Amino acid sequence: MKVKKAIIPAAGLGTRFLPQTKSIPKEMLPLVDKPAIQYIVEEGIRSSIENFIVISGRSKKSLEDHFDLAPELENILESKSKKDLTSSIEKIIEKTDFTYVRQKEPLGLGHAIWTARHAVGREHVAILLPDDIITGPVPAISQLIKIATQEKCNVVAVREVPIEDTKHYGVVAIKKQFSPNLFQVKNLVEKPEPNDAPSNLAIIGRYVLSPNIFDAIEETSSGHGGEIQLTDAISKLLSNGEKVFAYKVQGTRYDVGKPLGWLKANISLALKHPDYGEQMLKHLKELDRDILLMEGKAEILSKTSESMF
């Protein structure tokens, strides 16, 4: 079994990030020096994905333009010997196929995934939600692909969250634990209140699913928020006798679909960036000094100043 196709659902309206997202798709917001969706595509490419099926909607044309050649721009850059400014994106365009599918009505994540059924066909497929940026040495989706291939099963990425936060996520009920990070799933619930949550293991936006997910979505009626939920369709896969595993992926996850998560991701990524890391660290140390002064904690500064500055 090989996983070569990935669905990126990008039809959402970005309401958690208004007014910024009124005319600019949230997937195109910059994380340091490239749009959020480019991190998602790079994660897929590093995991041997060859074909991305982007679920798009109205006012998302800039996504298509970003992953397309721009001869005018390239000619100008070439004449100014600045070709390296776009080389990372050109490499992506060379290596990868993009298919764009429109979700005609906003009927939920499950419905968005279902619109990709013809493009995917009868193979296992990766799903990457572009709000969830996961950084770390091993791409998150490749961690799931490894398990799905070994165990011939469906896999969802999870992380532990405080129990009061379960209402923001799909949550898994555990049947069996195989190792500190790997679980067999008994059931899944979309956005349960803390009292109803079967665990504090929340789904973060990475999945590897069998092609039967498309029939399962068709059998799924609307659930939480009146929408067709992917989580409910995965429960259907379980009741149809398929195995679903949950894996605590290694890496740091940022929810860049809302301002605070986006700001945190920018700072963390800037710190790791070869061109900006050092300057960013210096800036944060200066801010830290200002905050300590503001809080009347100058004595801490006098103890640490020599080592810090």
Closer to ligand G1P by Cβ: residue 79 or 221: 221
Q: Closest residue to ligand G1P, Cβ-based?
A: 170
When binding is defined by CB under 6 A, the residue of 115, 166, 199, 231 that contacts ligand G1P is 231
Residue 116 buriedness (CB in 10 A; 0-12 / 13-18 / 19+): buried
For ligand G1P, which stretch binds (CB under 6 A), given 49-57, 72-80, 129-137, 210-218? 129-137
- Give CA 112 to chain center in angstroms: 15
Do residues 141 and 126 make contact, with C-beta atoms less than 8 angstroms apart? yes
When binding is defined by CB under 6 A, the residue of 117, 132, 189, 254 that contacts ligand G1P is 132
For ligand G1P, which stretch binds (CB under 6 A), given 49-57, 126-134, 237-245, 290-298? 126-134
Q: Is 205 in the site for ligand G1P (CB under 6 A)?
A: yes
SS3 at position 69 = coil
- The residue behind tokens 């059924």 is 117
Closest CA to 228 of 148, 151, 113: 113
When binding is defined by CB under 6 A, the residue of 35, 44, 57, 170 that contacts ligand G1P is 170
- Strands 51-56, 97-102: pairing is parallel
Q: Is 142 in the site for ligand G1P (CB under 6 A)?
A: no
Smallest gap, in angstroms, from Cβ of residue 156 to ligand G1P?
9
Do residues 103 and 227 make contact, with C-beta atoms less than 8 angstroms apart? no
Interface with ligand G1P (CB under 6 A): 109, 129, 131-132, 169-170, 190, 202-205, 229-231
